[in-house]
Amino acid sequence: MEINWPVLAYITIGIFAMSGFFKGWWKESITTFFLIFLVLLLQLPPAAQAFIDLLNLIFAAIAGILPESFRIILADFLEATLGVGTVDGAIRLEASDGGTWLIILLLFIGLAIFIGRSRLPGDFRVGLKTIYVPTLRGSLLGALIGGFNGLLIINLIREYLDGSRLLGGAAALARRAAPAGSLQAIEVPNFTIMESFLPWVFIALGFIVLFAAFRNRVVFLKDKDGYRKIDYRAPLGYNKHEMSPKKG
């Protein structure tokens, strides 16, 4: 089966731009942080290996407190569904495996969504006292950052599928030669945004967005005794709404 890569890229960027329009720029900035972290690891293979080693240590510690029968079931499930290797029932990730990074990418996107919804709730869930609704300006900026996130995601996916920039890239790429009948991308551009100095430009932009998100949400105040305390405010481009308690 063949996939037209430019069409897939346009769809990905469009979906994230639309998502950013409805969520606003602040929530999209959380996703930007995680994506920029992955771009940074792609440029620094030793740091990527250290990150994977840390995850493996955490997984080993978790596996050590689980019952042996449960570890065996979990290991079989992970290997059968996600292709994740295990050692003594503990997840064992490989920094040279693009599949490992694709899973981390999906987990990071999910984590960013959770943080955004929990720290800046924007829907009318039961029990919420305050919600934040993006204004038109916040939505347009969110669409811009969302499109930027979509661009990063599609390029990260390409790098992980290609594998040449991962640790042991050439050998890993040879091991992952696509068998006949598998999914294949067509019209893949020769140039990616992960080449030359561009990744560092995007990393710098990502940190600027993160700094703006922090400054717009967190404020340091002094109480009557002169002590500093942390408070939170509605970010620029959001309207804060206090929910009225329901009367019984």
Residue 203 structure tokens: 């990393």
The residue behind tokens 């969504």 is 113
Assigned domain for 248 exists: no
Assigned domain for 200 exists: yes
Find the mean pLDDT for residues 99-128: 85
- Split into its structural domains, the chain has a count of 1
Expressed as residue numbers, the domain containing 197 is 2-242
Residues 115, 113: Cα–Cα separation, whole Å: 6
Distances (CA, A) of 206 to 32, 33, 131, 209, 210: 6, 6, 26, 5, 6
Summarised one tens digit per residue, pLDDT across range 212-227 is: 999 998 888 777 777 7
Assigned domain for 209 exists: yes
Q: Interior CA angle at 110 toward 32 and 139, to 5°?
A: 50
Assigned domain for 10 exists: yes
Assigned domain for 195 exists: yes
Whether 180 shows a pLDDT value over 50: the answer reads no
Whether 36 shows a pLDDT value over 90: the answer reads yes
Question: Could you tell me which of 144, 122, 119, 145 has the C-alpha nearest to residue 238?
Answer: 122
